[in-house]
Structure 1
Amino acid sequence: MKYREIREKYQGQNETIVDAYATSISPIITKWFLTKKFTPNEITIMMILSGIIGAILFSINSIILKMLGIVFIHMWYILDCSDGEVARIKKQFSKFGTEIDYSAHILNHPLFNISFAISLISLNRYNIAFVLVLTIILISIDGIFRNLYAFEVIYKVKMEEEIQKGAIYKGSRLSILKRVVFQFVHYPNYALIFPIIFVSDYFIGSNIAILFLISIITVQVPMILKSYIIWIKRIKDVK
């Protein structure tokens, strides 16, 4: 199977900044997986392992190992794209494939946040308690968004509506500025962008990395509150 065919026929819609980059690489890996007859679930397991290795390497106080960790963290998302491509090409959809993929993110996202916190603390520039509080908030925010997405799926099943990935964010028109902000503060963008910012910060000695985390929290907290208000309005009259 040709690279272009995978790109045109078997990739999902690019919804994030990193999709354009990751989906340009994933077909190369997908072609190899097809020749070796890997299943989508096996690729998802590789994705989980890549995320774990990336988080561990990035948490070590060595800039070389951190750069290697970035490679594994980026491979984590490329594999996330690849498992879907293999599933579509082979028409091999596991009954619980979506749940396995969902669980992979539940595991990897907190590990990334913890790894990022350890790296910030190792710079000896910031109060440890402050960094830990930011990390706890970030992990909580991601968990809440995951919970909201799960609730969206449950709601649509109970209401017998069509399930659409990421539907919780649809239905409202976003301005260009909001779209740009949205791209930077959500996974997978945040997980792939922050390590690069951190390494740059490491060399130039600025505070961009910590400010990036603060900006993410500042933007996401109102988004969570808005999402809960929307849900309260949607379900208050449901019997």
Structure 2
Amino acid sequence: LFQSREVFGPQHLVQPSLETEKPALGFSALSRFNVDSQKVIVDKHNDLRRAVNPTARNMLKMVWNLDAANNAQRWADQCKMSISPRVFCGENILQATYPQSWSDAIQTWYNQVANFKYGTGAVKDNAPIGSYTQVVWYHSYQIGCAVAYCPQNKWQYFYVCQYCPAGNNAANLSKPYKQGPACGDCPNACDRGLCTNPCTYLDKYTNCATLKELFGCSHSMVKEDCLASCKCTTEIK
């Protein structure tokens, strides 16, 4: 059995259990320090991102981020079924009664696609979609995940993945990526349908593109607060 939660909305806290059985022998294989686990996590996300329907013209290829993994571990170790007080990164969380594989955990989040229609969002009122949209959010290209064993909990295995920069912009939740031919926005930086040219800067405001058009990057505010719009002309941002 397992349960997952999105990164936003009310959280249901699982009541503690007195069960104290030890984790299965394979639990250490799920560690954030295990290179094979890191590869499974990154590859699974990239496989799912390549397979989105409709196809994405600006979907970035994911890479492992150790800082995000360490942050995920710190939160997983709290054994609390709620979102962490993070700012820069998005987050998916899941609890299970057994140590399931990372591939299965990630697939669980992605399976919310059944509740989602591109351009519309949730197909039914209050249907959960946030875990899916974060998995396929186009510019969340750095991933770090961790798992903790929580013997005091009914759901003893706590999985956390953090996605940087954060996705799930509420204004664009129905369009987690730009629809179009795969790599349409990155024809010269493409790996099997995923873009490999992320912008390493961030805009402070959602209307930076408009500010750049109106005032130009020589304007002090635009220059300081719209770094992505000003410095990244061909990169995905």
Task: Determine if the TM-score, normalized by the shorter chain, exceeds 0.5.
Answer: no
Higher helix share: 1
| TM-score normalised by structure 1 residue count | 0.31
Would you tell me which structure has more strand in proportion to its own residues?
A: 2
Structure having greater relative contact order (Cα 8 Å, sep ≥ 6): 2
